[in-house]
Structure 1
Amino acid sequence: MRFTIDEYAKTFKMSKEMIQNKIRTKRLNYIIEGGLTYIIVPRSSLDEEKRQEIAQNIKPSSPPASTPQKTTVGMIIALYQKENQQLKLKIKELEAKVDRLVNDKEQMLIAERERIEEIYTAKDEQLKNLLEVINTKLLLSQGNAVHDVDITATAPIAPTLPNGVIELKRYLKFIGMGSEERKAVKRRFELAFGSDIRIIQKEGEFYVDLSKYDYTDFLS
């Protein structure tokens, strides 16, 4: 036997709210057909008095006589399959949302790591340039401790340069000369080497002694 919610409430003297609660908590067997909820009550579960009362007062809802419908195992299975499919779709949607959130978080972490690496790389470059400038200034400030160096075309250069002597390319970079200007100055030093006592060379590199000589003519 099956009843609508209204019929079930009248027959079993129960409020609709209580019936809805029992349906939600699966304490009542029910099916949904055509948008209506029908509560299934096995006839064997009713005593004789209740059966007679139902027969006298309420005619349980049933399909037209010409098209009788019975609740079958197949209908119940189909209902569970439909609910199961809906649950699978919801699970897929949740999994997709989780994947998007994880991917967004990973992208944010990668971007943050790259930004930090760029900051530290820039800081390292700035520190390197600062140390070069400080080192050059220290060499310039030691000009009062310079020793004479005997430079000739054939005489070997002393193993250690005297204090105050600075590598030419470092000095030119320190005073802000561009790459092309530094190349031009180096060519002038190469042409004057051997004939100008101011030109100092060691292991193929040129040096200047600013504490003793003026190199303005080479720089202009």
Structure 2
Amino acid sequence: MRFTVDEYAKTFKMSKEMIQNKLRTKRLNYIIEGGVTYIIVPRSSLDEEKHRELTQTAKTSLSAPAPQKTTVGMIIALYQKENQQLKLKIKELEAKIDRLVNDKEQMLIAERERIEEIYTAKDEQLKNFFEVINTKLLLSHENKVHDVDISATPITAAPQPSSGGVIELKRYLKFIGMGSDERKAVKRRFELAYGSDVRVIQKEGEFYVDLSRYDYTDFLS
């Protein structure tokens, strides 16, 4: 029988490079017809090679373990194992959910307590403010200068002139919580308005406000 190089490689499971090497070293019989190389193989050699291949295949089949037969018991055991794994995962998820719920509750409690503290502090500030207004800023018909106790907790909202008295400007601005730059700006407005605005009171080089008679909102804004 004769084979082309491709047929020989496929039949005898040999690389083309190895076949070409054998052809160059004259270890294979071949002929060339029409530019095509044919390898000559005696039928007896072919039968012997096929016999060897079949023998090797039979040995491989005998050595391979027989497939295990699936039984009902095996299927039940598999389902039981998977069921146990699912139960464990469910317990883990439930524990995680419980932790998340507890963490959320703790966060809400902490936030509520923080808000309550803020409102309590604000209420205390308002209480202190009105106590100061009612006790320290007394109406003075004689325009007597009163000192204001600024030790009370200041708030940022400017009080409206409800109880009155003449108060030193810088003390008043500190009392209502104005910063240094804001106080300078207000004092500058008083300086510009002095002499032309009856609300601007000056004594011994210091400016004063009369909350019982005038509204100074435009100076503070």
TM-score range, shorter chain: 0.3 to 0.5
Using structure 1 for the length normalisation, give the TM-score: 0.34
Bigger Rg, which one: 2
Using structure 2 for the length normalisation, give the TM-score: 0.34
